Structure 1
Amino acid sequence: MGRAEERRARQRGGRRAAPRGRRSSGAAGRTGIRRLFTWKKIVGTFFGLCLLGMGAFIVLYMMIDIPEGNADAKRQSNVYKYSDGSIMARDGEVNREVVDLAQIPRPVQKTFVAAENKTFYSDAGVDLKGTARGLLNTLSGKGAQGGSTITQQYVKNYYLTQEQTVTRKLKELVISLKLDREKPKDYILAGYINTSYYGRGAYGIQAAAQAYYRVDAEDLTVEQGAYLAALLQAPSQYDWAVASENGRQLVKNRWNYVLDNMVEEGWLDRSERSGMEFPVPKEPKGDPGMAGQTGYLVDAANAALKKQLVAEGAAEDAKQADALVDAGGWTITLNIDKKKQAALEKAVRTQLTDKLDPDERKVDADVQAGAVSVDPKTGAVVAMYGGVDYLKHYFNNATRDDYQPASTFKPVILAAAVEEQAKTQDGQPITANTLYDGTSERPVVDNGRKVGFAPENEDDQNYGDITVQTAMNKSVNSVFAQMGVDVGMEKVMETAGKLGMDVEGLQAVPAQTLGSMGASPLEMAGVYATLDNHGKKTTPTLVKSAEHRSRTVTVPDAIGEQVISREAADTVTSVLTGVVDDGTARRAVRDNPLRDGQQVAGKTGTSDDNKSAWFAGFTPDLVTTVGLFGEDDKPPHKQVKMYGAGGEPRVNGGGFPAQIWAAYTFGVMEETSRFDLETSQGAAVKPSWTPSATQSPSRTPSQEPTTEEPTTEPPSRTPSQTPTTQPPSQTPTTQPPTQPPTTPPTFEIPENPDDPEPDRQE
C-alpha cells in the first residue's frame, strides 16, 4: 500500500477502499431500491395515473351520449312451457301508465327521495363512492353494489340494461352525470317513479297505486306512498300478500325508515308522523291468464329463476333479479308434467273441494290445500297444487312455510338416530325394534335429569312399552320426544338440514320433535325425496331450463351428495311402510282399490289445535306431500282450526291429505314397483340383500325377500311374519318388562285404529 493510499485509509477510519466494481451487494441493493422508489417518483406516478384516468374519463364523457330508452324498458312477454315443450302461459303486456309528476302529491314524491337518495336535490346525480365500490365488486365477482342515486337507478332502468358489467357501470356513471346537468331534478324523479318495478306486474306509480291500494297516484296518502317507496328495494319479498313474517317485518322497518327520514329532512311534521299507521295493501288482482294453477306455477318458476340469477352472479341482488326477469324475453320450461299436473288437480277436487260446502259449514271456507310431487331420481317437480285458484287465493300453499309439519318430522328423528348410531338412556342401540315407554306425558329425561318437557300423545293415549316401529305407526309423541334427546337435538336438527329443511335460526330443543317449526310442502317433499333416493340429497327443482336472447342460466343439478348413509335412509323408508300398512294411513292408502300391490312408505301429521294436517308419502318412483291448512278466508288471513271441516270431527293427516295422495299417486302409476332397501334394522319391509356368513345368526332375516307382497291383514292381529331383526332384548328407557330373547315382539296396535284421529297433535 503506498503512502497516498494509507493516508486515504486513515481518513476513512482505517477501512481500506474496496476495489471498484466490488462494493457490497447489500449496499448496492439498497441504493438501487432508493433510486427506483423515490418519493418524487411515487408522487409523480400517482399524479400521472390520475391524469391518465381523468383523460380517459373525459374521452368517455365526450363519446357517450344520452341514448334513447332501451328495449328492456319496453317490456316483452315471458313464455312458460310444460316439460314436454307445450305452452303453459304467456304473461301479459306490461302494466304501465306514465303520469306527470304534478299529478303525484308533493309529500308522496318526497317518500321516494327519503327512501332511496336523501341528497337527490343537491347531488350531481352520482355516488362516486358507491359506484367505485360497485366497480370493485364487479371486478372481484362479489356482486351486490348498493349506494346508487335515484339518477343512476333511473338511467339503469330506462337507458341501459340490468347487466352486471364494468362497461355498463361506466356508462351509467357518465350518462347520470350528463342527465343531471341537462335535465331538471323533477324530470329525473318523474322518470324514476314511472319506470320502476313495484311487483304484481306493476311498472310505474300509477299501476302500483291501483295494484296495491285501488286508487290513482294522485290520491295516494303519505303512508301509502311510503309503502310503495319501501317496496322498490325488494318487490317480491316485500309484497304484503305473499311476504313471510320476516319479510313483513322488514318492509315495516323500511316504511318507518322512510317516514323518519322525511321528518329528519323537514318534509314531514313530527306530530303528524307519530300518528301514522302502516297501510296494509289490498289483496292482489291477478291476470285472467293466470287463473287456476297457472299463476302459482308461473310465480314459483319466476322465484326460482330469480334466486338462480343471484346465485350465479347474473344479478347483484333480489331487486335486480326482479328487474331482469320481469323485463321479459324469457322462455322458461318447467319440469311440470302436464298429465300429472292434471291428475293432482283432479285428486284435490274430488277428494277435498267437492266435499267442502262453505254455505253449510263456515269452517269449510277456511281450508286451504297445497301439494308438491317430485321425481326422487331427478328432483324434478312434476306437479304442484298451490290453491283453489290463483285469482281467488294469491298465496301459494305449496311453497308457504308458515304452518307446522307436525309428525311428518318424526322420520327425521329416526334418520338421525340410525345415522349417529345413537343409543337409549340405558345404552341400547336405537333400531326399529328398540323398546320405548309410550306413556302419555311421560317426562323426557337426559342422563337421569328431567328436561322439563313431557308431551301428550294424541287423545292422551298410553301405549306402554312399544317398539320404535309401532311408535312410528301410531305417531307416539312421547317416544320420539325421548328419542330426540337420546340422539341429541343438535344432531337431529343437523340431520334435518342435511335432508333439506331450513333450520337456520331454529333452536335445538325437545319441542322440535313434534314438528313445531314451519315448513312447506315443497320443503318436506325434498326431505322425503332424499330418503327415497337412499340418502342422496334431492332438491325439488321446478325450472328445467331458462333461455333469454341476451343471457343464459345454468340450472343446478338437483341431485347432490350422500348426506346420510343409505342404511339410515333405507331404514326409515322400511319403517314408514308400516305407517301405511299398520298405522295412521291405513284407511286411505293400504286398502285403496287402486293400489294394486304397490309398495308405499309415508307419514301422517296433524298439528296442535288442528291448524294443519299432512300426508307425506312415496313409492320408489314418486314422492308427494299434501298439506291442509286452516286459514281465515277474511283478511288478515290468520291461522284457524279446521275442526268440523268437510263434515269430519277433525281434519287429520290420514283423512283428506292421505286420500288426495292415494287418488293422485295410484292414478298416475304406470306399473307397480318395489323398494330396493339395504337395511339391517327395518321391521316393516325386509332387506333386499342377504347377510354375509360372518354375521351373527340372530341378525338373519326370517322374512322372504322384498318381492313378496306386503301384509294386508287387519292390523289388530299379530303379524304372521317374523321381523327382520332379532327380538329386542334391550331394556326400554323406563324399565319395561323383560322379554325372553326367543319371543318375537308383537307390534302393539290399539283398538279401533280407523277411528278419526283424536284431539291432540300427532
Structure 2
Amino acid sequence: MGRAEERRARQKGARRAKRAAKSGGIRRFFTWKWVLGYVLGLCALLVGAFFVLYLWVDVPPANAAAKAEANIYKYSDGTIMAKTGDVNRESVPLSKIPKEVQHTFVAAENKDFFSDSGVSFTGTARGLINTALGRGKQGGSTITQQYVKNYYLSQEQTVSRKLKELVISLKVDQQKSKDYILAGYINTSYYGRGAYGIQAAARAYYDKDVEDLSVAQGAYLASVLQAPSQYDWSAAGPNGKRLVKNRWNYVLNNMVEKDWLPKSEREGMKFPVPVEPRPIPGLDGQAGYFIKAAEAELLKAGVNENEFGAGGWTVTLNIDKKKQKALEKAVRTELTDKLDPKKRKVDGDAQVGAVSVDPKSGGIVAMYGGAGYTEHWTNNATRSDYQPASTFKPLILASALENGSTTQDSTPITSSTVYDGTSRRPVKGSLTGFAPPNEDNKSYGPISVQKAMNNSVNSVFAQMAVDVGLDKVKSTAIDLGMSKDAGGFDVRPAMSLGVMGASPKDMAGVYATLDNHGKKVTPAIVKSAEKGDERPQLPDPTNGQAISRGAADSVTSVLTGVVDDGTGQAVRQQGQAVAGKTGTSDDNKSAWFSGYTPDLVTSVGMFGELKGVGKQVSLKGTAGGGRVNGGDFPARIWAAYTQSALNGQKASKFDLDTDMGAAVKPPAPPSSSETSESPSSSPSASESTSESPSSSPSSSPSDSGSPSATSSGSPSAPGSPSAPDPSTSSSDDDDGGVLRRDQQ
C-alpha cells in the first residue's frame, strides 16, 4: 500500500468515527423514551397553562354593541311604523321562534349543539394556527363560541381573543342552558340589510314577525349568516345565489338527517325568495309625534327611562293606519292646501292638532300633531297652552245635572230651563263681578239651555257656572278628564268660557267620557309594550264612572242640537247621529270642534302660533277669510275625517238614558187649556220660529221648560230664569267664547 492510499484510508476511518460519535449522541438524547417524556411534559405544561387561563378568565359583561337594540313601533295591525336607535335589533324570547326555525340554525352551524361541551377543540386549534399564520377569519366554531364572540367579546382576529373565546365558551356552557345560548346566538347575529337578530331579519327579508316564519324562510336566514352581504338575494350575483341555495339545501338536508324535518316535507319545499329591501322608517312625518307620546305614556306607567332608552322594546300603538291616513288627508284638503304663507303671513302661523279616540276602548286611533316632527317639534295634539273656549260649556251643564243644581231661584237646571241671554248681563250670586259679552255682542233675551248651547250663549253659561258652584264645575271637569294643573284653571266666573289650557287629547277624553255614558275615558296611544318576556302593566284607559250615565247621556242629547240646529251644522251627516261643540277663544287665538258619534270621538284644535317664535297670535285672516270660528276649519276637518273613517259602517244612533235634550223625541202637543195655564210650553215654539226652517229635534217642544222653569221672575232679573220672548233669534255663526283680557 502506498503512502497516498494509507492517507486516504485514515481519512475515511476518521469520517466514520465522527459519524458514529454524532449518531450515538443523538440517540442518547432522542430515544423513544425521551421523545415520549418531552411530549408528556409539553402536554402537562399546556394543561397547566390552560388551567391557569381558565381560572384567570371570567365571563365578562356583555359588550355594548351586543346589547344595543332598536325600539320598534307598530300600528295597531302589527305593521311597523318606525324604529328608533342606531342598531336595528329586536330581541325575542326563544318561545316566539318556531321550533323548526330554531333547528334550522343548529342544522346550519352546529349539528351536535345540544350534546357538545360548547367548544370544538379541533376547530379552535385550526383557527388558532390560521390566525397565527395570518390566514384571516376561519370557521369551525360552535354556536356557543359564536354567541360568546358576538355577545361578550369582539370580532377581532387575534390568538388571545380565540383563547378567551374557548375558555368563556366552556364556562357559559356550564352556567347557561342550551336554550339560553341558542336564543342569544340567534338574537345577536348579523343577518345583513342592517338587521341584527332574527326578528329584525324576518322583517327585513320577509316583512313578517319571527313567529310567522316558515321552515324554508328560517333556513334561508340561517344560511345567510355565513356571508350576509354575499348571500343577500337582492344583491347577490349568479355565484352568490348559487352558493346560498346550496347552503339552504345543506341546512334542510341536515334537518332531515337529525329527524327534525320529515323527508316528504323537505322534498316539497321551494326556495323562499326574500322581498326587496326597504328603508327603515324613522321620525319624519307624524311618526315622531306618536313615538314621543308613546314614550311619555310608558314612562308614566313605570318603565325605567334608562332601560327604555337602551332599546329592545316592541311598542304596539292603538293608531289605526286607515283612520290615520283619513285624518291627515282631511287636514290637508280642508286647510293646509288652502294656505299660502308667501301670499298671507298669517297662513304660516296656522297650526292644527287633532286626536281621535275609540270611546269603548279608550285607544287613540288617529292623531295629528302638526306639519311633521322634524319640522314642528311641538305636538299640537297634546299641547295644552291654548284655551278650549266654548267646548268647555258642556262640562258646566254636566256638572249641573250631576249635582242636581238649581238656578238662583231654586229651579232645577235642565235642557229646558230658561235663562236670560242678554249680552254683558252681570252674573248674579258671585263675589267676583263678571259680565261676559256674547258673540258679536248679540242679546237673546229669555232662552232655554238647549238653545243657549246650540248658539253658545256666554251669558247663560257664566250664570249657570255660578249657579252650580265654580268649585263643583271644576271638580266635574277634572273627573271628566281636564287637567287639574292646566294653566288658567282658576275658580272664577271666567272659567265658564274655557279660559284654562287644554289639549285636543284632553278634550277628546272629556267628550269620549260623555260618549261612553259617563265611564271615564283616558285616551291612550299605547296598546301594548314588551321587551323579551317583560310586559309592563299599562293602566286601563276606560276605568271608573266619572259622572252618572243620566248626566252624560243628557249632555249628549243636548249636544246633538248643536249639530242639528246650532253652530256645529257643518258636521251634519246624513243618517248619522252626531253630537259636538264648537269653540273660539279669546282674540281668535284658537278655534275648536270636539264631537262624536256612538263609535268615534274626535277633537280638532286650530292654533295661531307665530312661526319660529312660538308666541300665540290671532288666526284672523287665515286662508284669506276673516275670523276663524270652530264651526269653520276645525268642523270641516272633523266632518271630512269622520265621514272617511266611518266609511263602510252602518249609520248609528246614540243609546241614551235621558228624557231631555234635542235627541229626545218631543212629547205630544199640549191641549189649548194646558197651554193657557202653563207659559212653559211657549219658549221652544217661539224660539223655533226664529230658527232655520229645518225640522231638527232641537227646535221641538222638548226644549221648552216645565212650569217651574219659568216661574222665577221677569227676563230683566239678571241671573234669573225668564219667561220666553217670541222675538228671540239664533246666532248666525260660531259661539266665539269671546272674552277680552281686561274682562277676565
Give the TM-score, by structure 1 length. Answer: 0.58
User: 1:625 deviation in Å?
Assistant: 0.2
Alignment of 1:614-693 (within 5 A): 614-635=592-613, 637-669=614-646, 670-682=649-661, 684-686=662-664
SS in structure 2 of the partner of residue 348 of structure 1? helix
Would the aligned equivalents of 1:434 and 1:728 in 2 still touch at CA under 8 Å? Answer: no
2-structure distance, mates of 1:528, 1:752: 24
Does residue 383 in structure 1 map to residue 366 in structure 2? yes
Does residue 372 in structure 1 map to residue 365 in structure 2? no
1:476-502 Cα shifts (integer Å, max 9, x gaps): 111111100100011001101110111
1:445-464 Cα shifts (integer Å, max 9, x gaps): 11xx6631111212111111
Alignment of 1:124-203 (within 5 A): none
User: 1:750 deviation in Å?
Assistant: 3.3
2-structure distance, mates of 1:486, 1:752: 24
User: 1:92 deviation in Å?
Assistant: 3.7
1:85-136 Cα shifts (integer Å, max 9, x gaps): 11111114169xxxxxxxxxxxxxxxxxxxxxxxxxxxxxxxxxxxxxxxxx
1:231-267 Cα shifts (integer Å, max 9, x gaps): xxxxxxxxxxxxxxxxxxxxxxxxxxxxxxxxxxxxx
User: 1:532 deviation in Å?
Assistant: 0.3
Does residue 750 in structure 1 map to residue 729 in structure 2? yes
Evaluate the alpha carbon distance shift between residue 290 and residue 432 of structure 1 in structure 2; reply closer, same or farther with a 3 A threshold.
same
Does residue 342 in structure 1 map to residue 335 in structure 2? no
2-structure distance, mates of 1:749, 1:658: 26
User: 1:687 deviation in Å?
Assistant: 6.4
Evaluate the alpha carbon distance shift between residue 751 and residue 482 of structure 1 in structure 2; reply closer, same or farther with a 3 A threshold.
closer
2-structure distance, mates of 1:540, 1:296: 15
Give the aligned residue type for 2:359: P
The Cα RMSD (Å) is: 3.6
User: 1:688 deviation in Å?
Assistant: 12
2-structure distance, mates of 1:558, 1:458: 37
SS in structure 1 of the partner of residue 702 of structure 2? coil
Evaluate the alpha carbon distance shift between residue 681 and residue 725 of structure 1 in structure 2; reply closer, same or farther with a 3 A threshold.
farther
2-structure distance, mates of 1:720, 1:385: 35
2-structure distance, mates of 1:466, 1:90: 56
Question: What residue is the counterpart of 1:610 in the other structure?
Answer: 588
**Of 80, 88, 92, the match for 1:87:** 80
2-structure distance, mates of 1:746, 1:63: 98
**Of 429, 436, 439, the match for 1:455:** 436
Evaluate the alpha carbon distance shift between residue 303 and residue 568 of structure 1 in structure 2; reply closer, same or farther with a 3 A threshold.
same
Give the aligned residue type for 2:548: S
Evaluate the alpha carbon distance shift between residue 73 and residue 732 of structure 1 in structure 2; reply closer, same or farther with a 3 A threshold.
farther
Give the aligned residue type for 2:334: Q
Does residue 352 in structure 1 map to residue 335 in structure 2? yes
Would the aligned equivalents of 1:457 and 1:476 in 2 still touch at CA under 8 Å? Answer: yes
1-structure distance, mates of 2:524, 2:727: 40
Evaluate the alpha carbon distance shift between residue 87 and residue 464 of structure 1 in structure 2; reply closer, same or farther with a 3 A threshold.
same
1:620-649 Cα shifts (integer Å, max 9, x gaps): 1100000001111123x1111111011110
1-structure distance, mates of 2:493, 2:737: 22
2-structure distance, mates of 1:403, 1:574: 27
**Of 574, 594, 598, the match for 2:576:** 598
Alignment of 1:581-592 (within 5 A): 581-586=564-569, 588-590=570-572
**Of 468, 479, 482, the match for 2:449:** 468
Evaluate the alpha carbon distance shift between residue 717 and residue 518 of structure 1 in structure 2; reply closer, same or farther with a 3 A threshold.
closer
Alignment of 1:43-442 (within 5 A): 68=61, 71=64, 74-93=67-86, 289-308=282-301, 310=302, 315=303, 321-442=304-425
User: 1:289 deviation in Å?
Assistant: 2.1
Q: Which runs of 5+ in 1 are unaligned?
A: 1-61, 96-158, 160-286, 316-320, 691-695, 703-711
Structure 1 or 2, whichever has the larger Rg, is 2
2-structure distance, mates of 1:567, 1:747: 31
Alignment of 1:510-589 (within 5 A): 510-549=493-532, 551-586=534-569, 588-589=570-571
User: 1:736 deviation in Å?
Assistant: 1.9
Question: What residue is the counterpart of 2:483 in the other structure?
Answer: 502
1:304-356 Cα shifts (integer Å, max 9, x gaps): 11111x2xxxx5xxxxx321211100000001110000000000000010011
Evaluate the alpha carbon distance shift between residue 612 and residue 603 of structure 1 in structure 2; reply closer, same or farther with a 3 A threshold.
same
Would the aligned equivalents of 1:632 and 1:639 in 2 still touch at CA under 8 Å? Answer: yes
SS in structure 1 of the partner of residue 282 of structure 2? helix
SS in structure 2 of the partner of residue 667 of structure 1? helix
2-structure distance, mates of 1:386, 1:302: 15
SS in structure 2 of the partner of residue 730 of structure 1? helix
Alignment of 1:4-15 (within 5 A): none
Would the aligned equivalents of 2:583 and 2:630 in 1 still touch at CA under 8 Å? Answer: yes
Would the aligned equivalents of 1:649 and 1:756 in 2 still touch at CA under 8 Å? Answer: no
1-structure distance, mates of 2:401, 2:481: 18
Evaluate the alpha carbon distance shift between residue 744 and residue 666 of structure 1 in structure 2; reply closer, same or farther with a 3 A threshold.
farther
Give the aligned residue type for 2:422: T
Give the aligned residue type for 2:452: A
2-structure distance, mates of 1:717, 1:744: 23
Evaluate the alpha carbon distance shift between residue 479 and residue 748 of structure 1 in structure 2; reply closer, same or farther with a 3 A threshold.
farther
User: 1:727 deviation in Å?
Assistant: 4.2
2-structure distance, mates of 1:377, 1:673: 14
SS in structure 2 of the partner of residue 369 of structure 1? strand
User: 1:408 deviation in Å?
Assistant: 0.5
SS in structure 2 of the partner of residue 290 of structure 1? coil
1-structure distance, mates of 2:483, 2:66: 37
2-structure distance, mates of 1:89, 1:476: 46
1:51-81 Cα shifts (integer Å, max 9, x gaps): xxxxxxxxxxx99999546558953101111
Evaluate the alpha carbon distance shift between residue 383 and residue 550 of structure 1 in structure 2; reply closer, same or farther with a 3 A threshold.
same
User: 1:516 deviation in Å?
Assistant: 0.7
Give the aligned residue type for 1:466: I
1-structure distance, mates of 2:439, 2:516: 31
Q: Which runs of 5+ in 2 are unaligned?
A: 1-54, 89-151, 153-279, 669-673, 682-690
1-structure distance, mates of 2:85, 2:478: 39
2-structure distance, mates of 1:478, 1:656: 25
2-structure distance, mates of 1:752, 1:605: 14
Evaluate the alpha carbon distance shift between residue 752 and residue 572 of structure 1 in structure 2; reply closer, same or farther with a 3 A threshold.
closer
Would the aligned equivalents of 1:371 and 1:625 in 2 still touch at CA under 8 Å? Answer: yes
Percent identity at matched positions? Answer: 58
1-structure distance, mates of 2:354, 2:734: 25
Evaluate the alpha carbon distance shift between residue 344 and residue 415 of structure 1 in structure 2; reply closer, same or farther with a 3 A threshold.
same
Evaluate the alpha carbon distance shift between residue 462 and residue 756 of structure 1 in structure 2; reply closer, same or farther with a 3 A threshold.
closer
User: 1:372 deviation in Å?
Assistant: 0.3
